[in-house]
Amino acid sequence: MAISEHASVCTFDCPDACSLSVTVRDGRVAKVRGSHALPYTDGVICNKVARDMPAFVHGPQRLRHPLLRVGPKGAGKFEQISWDDALDAIHAGVMQVIDRFGPQAVAPLNYAGPHGFLAGDSMSLRFLHKLGASQLYRRSMCGGVRAEAWVGTYGAVPGCPPEFAAHAQLNLVWGNNATATNVHLVRVIAHARRNGGKLVVVDPLHTRIAAQADLHLQLRPGTDVLLAWALATELEKAGSFDRAFIAAHVLGCEEFMSRAREWPAARAAAECGLRVEDILTVVDWMAAADPFILAPGNGFERGRNGGSGARAAFALPALLGKFARGSGVIMGGGNSFPKTLAKLQRPDLLPPRTRTLNLSEMGRHLADDDVDPPIRALFIYNHNPIVVHPDQNRMRRGLLREDVFTVGIEIAMTESMDFCDIVLPAATHFEYDELYPSYGHHWLQRAEAVIPPIGESLPNTEIFRRLAARFGFDDPCFKATDAELMDDAVDGSDPRLGGMRPSQIPGDQPLRMNAPDGREMVLFDNIFPATPSEKIELRSESLAEKWGASALLPTWRPREGAQPLMLISPASDRRITSTLGDLSASTATPPLLMNPMDAASRGLMSGVEIQVWNALGKVFLPLEVTDAVPPGVVSSEKGAWLRTSRNGQTISALVSSEARADLAWGACYNDTAVEVSAA
């Protein structure tokens, strides 16, 4: 029996990008544990990665050969074919579309499955750019609202390292279901609490980290901007503003505060569903805390006021002048890396005036033919759109169209692959070399393959190399090796690399992205805002120019919706969105959480099957009555596969693709009006 240990990195959509130790036994991944290579993750990983990786790599759901659809779309009937036949079929199908409608009738449908530079989007975009396919604005699905709010306020810079949370006197965790999605933040916050630090959590759901908090502000979804304004107003009344810092480093303070003052604690508490005394307690703790850390997540961006809520929360450390010396905002980690994405993805290959489509609206474009030229060919990769997209039933109608030629590239036979004409088997992250940034910390990591690709599966880079060759693309960039792609992804001449080529970073030695002075990058210590004014911009002309005049300052839009309840969809600790949703730990139907008051008024009790519905769809779920959600709010975990619901609809069916956040066209997953009744 041959046993070996290998260094690796976790690729999944998570800010932690953990370093891993992989045990390989007789050519198979046998065990995955955390390694101590990355100081931040320090040997700890989440339960789902520790438990599920052997099944993820070697389980029966794994795609091992190219497949050709032989039944109706959605029926899941395929037969095995050769790679040559698959490439020929793709070339024929796509060229037929291009000959009739032009290249923009071809579109990608991809998102954030793997988070390495290479598998995420490298050779794939080179191919699609050369093809002239429609482009995709992907950030509307998740992360874009918060990122736009951050860049509009501070510029494309990192805030502070997450390690700072370990020594904070107050950690304010806002819209961050950290125990499910950011486990190492929880670990460093626990260190702070053991040393007397306080923890405040702002979240409509009583998450596990909220259960650990000194104070949980269980506000109504979409009211984050009001809470932040109230905190700012009461901090100003208390004389806690750092006026010297504001004068030197903040733009638009008075305009921001003129809106905030309309929402003192008493008024905001009524709208947010909070106690006035709890808001005032947080005000006292924020004023006294030194260091103070704000750790925002993606939860509060996923609603109508998502950008405004994020911007108003980001303003609080600026008004207090609490940066450096251990204080700051754990945001913008991805900005710490000297990325050279144009060199990696080659947008120069793209024909002029190629259109860009919004990822969140792709279901409508497919189902309703509301763009010209219409979409008639799709490449689905790094994505499970039938589970993840808003307005699931419309996406289903689009994917069912027999006149849309669809290519799927996937590790497992997801429910989205059932709608494809050709399915190509992709390698897992344990089967190829990769370079990993992070959006949650400042460490660059490289991983090497620990086993060869399973069956006939191939890394994304090789799949798109072969596609490029079959389409006759002979530019040198399509022959680049994976090592060359790594060197294209990051500027090796940047001092942060210390003279090392990205492709030569040792697999067990992560590289911290330091500031020019050789220390960790910290806002207002050794790096500064990168906004047009070079100040913190609470009034942002750049956001107004990009997203409309109403984005000049944070705003408040009251709730709209025909149904009385608001549905939120937090992350699961058993999946990464829908990834791993086909494994045994995720096959159960997730419950709907409902407050006892709402259950009593509807004559419902725990354990019964209910239907949660609106005009877009209907989902059958078991009910759990609990005060983990406030009155008027219901919650069910995102990412469950269609097979978990007896009518093949999950909560994504209830989310509108027309509703948008106030920045980045953000999807409103946590701002969905529904009603609940007995099934």
Set out the domains of the chain in order of their start, with CATH numbers: 3-58 (2.20.25.90), 67-134+354-509 (3.40.50.740), 144-334+524-542 (3.40.228.10), 565-678 (2.40.40.20)
From 124, 129, 110, 95, select the one nearest 354 (Cα to Cα): 129
**Phi, psi values for residue 308, rounded to 5°:** -70, -40
Question: Which regions of 160-265 does DSSP assign to beta strands (E)?
Answer: 170-174, 198-202, 215-217, 250-251
From 222, 207, 202, select the one nearest 271 (Cα to Cα): 222
pLDDT digit string (tens) for 374-412?
Answer: 999 999 999 999 999 999 999 999 999 999 999 999 999
Give the tokens for residue 22. Answer: 């992989």
**585 confidence band (pLDDT: 50, 70, 90):** confident
Residue 561 confidence (pLDDT): 77
Residue 560 confidence (pLDDT): 83
**Phi, psi values for residue 654, rounded to 5°:** -95, -10
pLDDT higher than threshold 80 for residue 48 = yes
pLDDT higher than threshold 90 for residue 357 = yes
**Is the CB of residue 342 less than 8 Å from the CB of residue 160?**
no
Task: Work out the average pLDDT over 37-59.
Answer: 95
**1 confidence band (pLDDT: 50, 70, 90):** confident
From 549, 672, 562, 546, select the one nearest 619 (Cα to Cα): 672
Give the tokens for residue 646. Answer: 């007896």
Q: For the chain, what is the mean pLDDT?
A: 97
pLDDT digit string (tens) for 175-195?
Answer: 999 999 899 999 999 999 999
pLDDT higher than threshold 90 for residue 173 = yes
Q: Length of the chain, please?
A: 679
Q: Residues with Cβ < 8 Å from 641, sequence gap 6 or more?
A: 387, 414, 415, 578, 581, 582, 586, 650
pLDDT digit string (tens) for 292-310?
Answer: 999 999 999 999 999 999 9
Task: Work out the average pLDDT over 598-627.
Answer: 98
**Is the CB of residue 260 less than 8 Å from the CB of residue 312?**
yes
Residue 554 confidence (pLDDT): 98
Residue 394 confidence (pLDDT): 98
Strand partners, 217: 202
For the chain, state the CA radius of gyration: 24
**264 confidence band (pLDDT: 50, 70, 90):** very high
> Does the pTM of the predicted model rise above 0.85?
yes
Sign for the pseudo-dihedral over CA of 595, 597, 602, 608: positive
The percentage of the chain sitting over the pLDDT mark of 70, rounded to a whole number, equals: 100
CA dihedral 361, 362, 367, 373 (to 10 degrees): 110
Q: Residues with Cβ < 8 Å from 545, sequence gap 6 or more?
A: none
Residue 584 confidence (pLDDT): 87
**113 confidence band (pLDDT: 50, 70, 90):** confident
pLDDT digit string (tens) for 21-39?
Answer: 999 999 999 999 999 999 9
pLDDT higher than threshold 90 for residue 112 = no
**Burial (CB count within 10 angstroms: exposed 0-12, middle 13-18, buried 19+), residue 30:** middle
pLDDT digit string (tens) for 149-159?
Answer: 999 999 999 99
**Is the CB of residue 453 less than 8 Å from the CB of residue 432?**
yes
Task: Work out the average pLDDT over 304-326.
Answer: 97
Burial track 176-208 (b if 16+ CB lie within 10 A, e otherwise): bbbbbbbbbbbbbbbebbeeebbbbbbbbbbbe
Q: Residues with Cβ < 8 Å from 625, sequence gap 6 or more?
A: 594, 595, 596, 599, 604, 605, 606
**How far is residue 512's CA from residue 490's CA, in Å, rounded to a whole number?**
14
**Is the CB of residue 428 less than 8 Å from the CB of residue 53?**
no
**Is the CB of residue 317 less than 8 Å from the CB of residue 328?**
yes
Tell how far CA 448 is from the center of its chain.
25
Instruction: Please confirm whether the linkage preceding 158 is cis (ω < 30° from 0).
Output: no
